[in-house]
């Protein structure tokens, strides 16, 4: 999942998992209409999907269907261990479907993201692709042969839930992990995301020094650049690729903000390297460098001790000792090629974000007009802030059935998650001590008990849905 930083177009990345597991599958292609919703254009193109039917009981085994999100599908296959680890027990066929406009599923090749061609990138089109694919996997039969369980994490989790809601005749049930289906206009306060990041850093340090130091660092950094004019010092000390000046300081601040946010999201109990190599419990590790009372430029780099923001930046960018300079002006997509996400955020997926002055980032307001202007400049589109609520129901999900919404409370995206069960068959699972969709990742010996319990709940629900399917 990605935060849209308007004004400067950088995005934050979300991470998946870091086990060394290498899963194997066949790569296939499936032809879909360019536009499911009109009959004016009849072009088609191919989306990629990955299949493993080694464990599949062809007479009645379920189809485990991952609704791909913003990135190449191989990444999601690699890091969604839950599906692989349970396919044998369920005798399931495994399918990972790639979202249009990501990875290799490009309708117009390398021109797909040009403004002229990007218009067919919507969640609704992607869901319609998945629906066609499921129908094909069922052999186009009027009465489906196999139960289909949708899975997804983050935006993929939203898609899994929406897939069940929109196509209940095709999808038997959905595991929607860390799916911020409430992160839309009018549903949650716009500061909820940064509030969770802040509390994560507050509780990881002694006496809240960690978040207090981060909060104090912004002004120091700005003053340092504008008044001291010592741009080369920071470049050297922080190993930046470029000197910082009043023109690009916004990029550096966004980069640092994304750094803290990413660490909060991937605050996993084991060493990780999906996005960038990070130690176990990265927030706590970062806070070790910010745990005493610091002032002034000591916040940026303290000569005597192993502390300060510069040290956190080093941990974040150089944990594997590659010693590359920090390219703070670049889009930080990590290993996921998520370039299309900003367009989605500018159309259907408008997630208002702001920062309360009580939180550790610089205060900011949500200004839809300027957001909209930026989207128009960049893509020649105007966002529809109510589209997701109207299309998918937002917080009116009472009519939905057979969905598990799981959320780890350390995850900033949990602020937009479903935290209370909606009905006996659309349930919320709260995992108090985990970050972004840890429950779907390959199991690890450091997983907390809560996440193991969550995986058992997923399995119970899937079993129940499959039993009902056969009734
Ligand atoms: C399917 O996955 C299983 C378990 O990861 C593996 O043993 C098997 O070789 C895979 N099958 C194919 C066709 O790749
Ligand atoms: C698409 O439309 C053109 C005419 O506009 C027609 O020649 C072609 O056969 C159609 N293709 C498909 C796949 O229907
Ligand atoms: C885009 O694709 C075309 C045709 O496949 C290729 O010739 C061209 O080099 C590609 N351009 C870039 C920038 O990758
Ligand atoms: C900052 O440095 C630049 C180039 O070194 C110089 O042109 C400019 O006048 C300096 N500004 C201040 C406020 O000292
Ligand atoms: C700021 O730094 C960038 C990159 O180093 C440079 O291109 C730009 O001219 C600088 N701006 C000022 C006002 O010094
Ligand atoms: C900031 O947070 C405080 C404490 O939660 C709250 O009282 C205040 O209304 C918030 N301010 C804004 C602008 O949302
Ligand atoms: C919101 O942005 C618009 C367009 O950039 C600007 O005119 C307006 O003053 C802003 N509103 C607030 C409250 O900052």
CATH of the domain at 110: 3.40.50.1820
User: What spatial distance separates the first Cα and last Cα of the chain, rounded to whole Å?
Assistant: 37
Atom of ligand 3 nearest to the CA of 109: 2
Residue 1 falls inside a structural domain: no
Q: Are residues 363 and 455 in the same domain?
A: no
| Closest ligand to residue 7's CA | 7
Task: Give the lowest-confidence range in 48-57, 247-256, 417-426, 459-468.
Answer: 247-256
Same domain, 254 and 361: yes
DSSP string spanning 42-59?
--EEEEEEEEE-TT--TT
My answer on whether 151 and 233 are in the same domain is no
Nearest alpha carbon, ligand 6 atom 9: 356
Task: State the ligand closest to the CA atom of 6.
Answer: 7
Q: What is the pLDDT, as a whole number, of residue 17? A: 38
pLDDT over 90 at 333, yes or no: no
Extended beta strands in 365-420, E state: 403-408
Place of tokens 């007479």: 59
Confidence band for 293, pLDDT divided at 50, 70 and 90: confident
Q: Can you give the pLDDT at residue 336?
A: 67
Residue 96 tokens read as 């990972």
CB-ligand 5 contact for 248 (6 Å cutoff): yes
Instruction: Check residue 26 and give its pLDDT.
Output: 97
Instruction: Please list every protein residue whose CB sits less than 6 Å from any atom of ligand 1.
Output: 23-26, 52, 54, 84
Domain assignment of residue 354, yes or no:
yes
The reply to whether 270 and 136 lie within a common domain is no
Token digits for 45? Answer: 């193109």
Q: What are the residues whose beta carbons fall under 8 Å from the beta carbon of 467, sequence distance 6 or more?
A: none
> Looking at 362, 379, 396, which one is the last position of a domain?
379
Distance 369 CA to ligand 7 centre (A): 6
Residue 364 covered by a domain? yes
Predicted TM-score (pTM) of the model is: 0.91
Q: Which helix (DSSP H) or strand (DSSP E) does residue 454 occupy?
A: helix 449-470
- Residue 178 Cα to ligand 4 middle (Å): 47
CATH number at residue 320: 1.20.120.980
Q: Are residues 171 and 39 in the same domain?
A: yes
Last residue of a domain, one of 324, 349, 379: 379
Ligand positioned closest to the Cα atom of 111: 3
Q: How far is the CA of 110 from the centre of ligand 3 (A)?
A: 6
In 3D space, the residue among 170, 178, 173 whose CA is nearest the CA of residue 152 turns out to be 178
For residue 267, what are its two tokens?
Answer: 């605050």
Same domain, 302 and 227: yes
DSSP state letter for 408: E
Report helix, strand or coil for 253: helix
Catalytic residues: 154, 411, 436
Tens digits of residue pLDDT in 108-133 = 999 999 999 999 999 999 999 999 99
Dihedral (Cα; 200, 435, 455, 55), 10-degree rounding:
-170
Nearest to 410 by CA among 197, 135, 255, 256: 197
The lowest-confidence range among 15-19, 74-78, 364-368 is 15-19
Q: In the beta sheet, which residues pair with residue 173?
A: 149
Where is the domain boundary, 360, 379, 398? 379
Atom number, ligand 5, closest to the C-alpha of residue 245 = 1
216 or 306: whose pLDDT is higher?
A: 216
Pocket lining for ligand 7, CB < 6 angstroms: 367, 369-370, 373
- The pLDDT of residue 383 is above 90: yes
What's the average model confidence in pLDDT over 82-106?
Answer: 97
Cα–Cα distance for residue pair 285/262, rounded to 1 Å: 13
Task: Return d(Cα 381, Cα 349) in angstroms, integer.
Answer: 13
- Tell me the average pLDDT across 161-187: 96
State whether 163 and 301 are in the same domain: no
Residue closest by Cα to atom 13 of ligand 5: 247
- Give per-residue pLDDT as tens, 411-434: 999 999 999 999 999 999 999 989
Q: Are 120 and 100 a contacting pair, CB within 8 Å? A: yes
**What is the per-residue pLDDT across 207-237, written as a single tens digit (0 to 9) for each?**
778 999 999 999 999 988 887 666 788 888 8
Q: Is residue 2 part of a domain?
A: no
User: Contact at 8 Å (CB) between 261 and 10?
Assistant: no
Q: Which pLDDT score is estimated for 332?
A: 58
Residues touching ligand 6 (Cβ under 6 Å) are: 191, 356, 358
pLDDT, tens digit, 9 for 90 and up, residues 384-415: 999 999 999 988 899 999 999 999 999 999 99
| Sheet of 426-431, strands arranged across | 26-33, 44-52, 93-97, 63-67, 148-153, 173-177, 403-408, 426-431
| CA pair distance 249, 239, nearest whole angstrom | 15
d(CA 135, CA 131): 6
Pocket-testing residue among 110, 113, 117, 337, ligand 3, by greatest number of atoms within 8 A of Cβ: 110
| Mean pLDDT value across the chain | 90
Residue 226 and residue 128 share a domain: no
Q: State the pLDDT at residue 22.
A: 83
Mean pLDDT of 436-454: 95
| Same domain assignment for residues 174 and 305 | no
User: Ligand 6, from 353, 358, 363, 415: best to mutate by most atoms within 8 Å of Cβ?
Assistant: 358
Distance from the CA of 231 to the center of ligand 5, in angstroms? 10
Element (H, E) at 67: strand 63-67
Number of domains within the chain: 2
281: left (phi over 0), alpha (psi -120 to 50) or beta: left
| Whole-number percent of the chain with pLDDT over 70 | 92
172 shares a domain with 26: yes
Q: Please report which ligand is nearest the Cα atom of 372.
A: 7
Q: Report CA(114)–ligand 3 centroid distance (Å).
A: 13
- State whether 457 and 335 are in the same domain: no
Compute the distance from residue 318 Cα to the ligand 4 centre, in Å.
31
Instruction: Supply the residue whose CA is at minimum distance from atom 14 of ligand 3.
Output: 110
Which of 106, 108, 109 to probe ligand 3 with, by most ligand atoms within 8 A of CB? Answer: 109
Structural domain harbouring 274: 192-379
SS3 of 427, please? strand
For residue 312, tell me if it sits in a domain.
yes
Q: Please give the distance, rounded to the nearest whole angstrom, from the Cα atom of residue 379 to the centre of ligand 7.
A: 20
If asked whether residues 332 and 397 sit together in one domain, one would say: no
Reported as a pLDDT band with limits 50, 70 and 90, residue 358 is: very high
Asked whether 125 and 140 are in contact (CB, 8 A), the reply is no
């Amino acid at each position: 999942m990605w935060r849209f930083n308007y004004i400067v177009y950088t995005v934050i990345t979300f991470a998946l998992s870091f086990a060394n597991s290498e899963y194997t599958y066949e790569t296939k292609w499936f032809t879909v209409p360019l536009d499911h919703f009109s009959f004016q254009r009849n072009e088609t193109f191919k989306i990629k999907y990955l299949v493993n039917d080694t464990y599949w009981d062809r007479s009645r085994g379920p189809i485990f269907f991952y609704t791909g999100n913003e990135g190449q599908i191989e990444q999601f296959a690699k890091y969604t261990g839950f599906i692989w680890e349970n396919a044998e027990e369920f005798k399931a066929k495994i399918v990972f479907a790639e979202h249009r406009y990501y990875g290799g599923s490009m309708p117009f090749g390398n021109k797909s993201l040009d403004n002229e061609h990007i218009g067919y990138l919507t969640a609704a089109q992607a869901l319609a692709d998945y629906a066609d694919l499921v129908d094909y996997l069922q052999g186009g039969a009027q009465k489906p042969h196999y139960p289909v369980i949708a899975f997804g994490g983050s935006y993929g989790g939203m898609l899994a839930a929406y897939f069940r809601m929109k196509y209940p005749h095709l999808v038997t049930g959905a595991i929607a992990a860390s799916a911020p289906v409430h992160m839309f206009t009018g549903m949650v306060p716009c500061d909820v995301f940064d509030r969770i990041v802040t509390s994560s850093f507050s509780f990881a340090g002694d006496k809240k020094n960690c978040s207090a130091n981060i909060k104090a660092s912004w002004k120091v950094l700005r003053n340092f650049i504008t008044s001291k004019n010592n741009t080369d010092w920071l470049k050297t000390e922080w190993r930046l690729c470029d000197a910082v000046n009043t023109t690009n300081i916004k990029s550096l601040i966004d980069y640092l903000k994304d750094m803290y946010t990413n660490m909060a999201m991937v605050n996993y109990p084991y060493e990780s390297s999906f996005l960038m190599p990070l130690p176990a419990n990265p927030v706590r590790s970062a806070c070790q460098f910010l745990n005493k009372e610091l002032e002034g430029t000591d916040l940026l780099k303290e000569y005597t001790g192993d502390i300060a923001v510069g040290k956190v930046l080093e941990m974040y960018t150089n944990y594997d000792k590659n010693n590359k300079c920090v390219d703070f002006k670049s889009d930080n997509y990590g290993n996921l090629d998520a370039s299309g996400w900003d367009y989605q955020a500018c159309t259907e997926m408008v997630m208002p974000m702001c920062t309360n002055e009580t939180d550790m980032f610089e205060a900011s307001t949500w200004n839809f007009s300027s957001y909209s202007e930026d989207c128009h400049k960049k893509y020649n589109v105007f966002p529809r802030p109510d589209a997701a609520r109207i299309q998918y129901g937002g917080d009116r999900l009472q009519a939905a059935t057979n969905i598990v919404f799981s959320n780890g409370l350390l995850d900033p995206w949990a602020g937009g998650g479903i935290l209370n069960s909606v009905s006996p068959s659309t349930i919320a699972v709260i995992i108090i001590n985990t970050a972004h969709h840890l429950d779907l990742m390959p199991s690890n010996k450091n997983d907390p008990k809560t996440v193991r319990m969550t995986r058992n709940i997923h399995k119970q629900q899937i079993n129940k849905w499959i039993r009902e399917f056969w009734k």
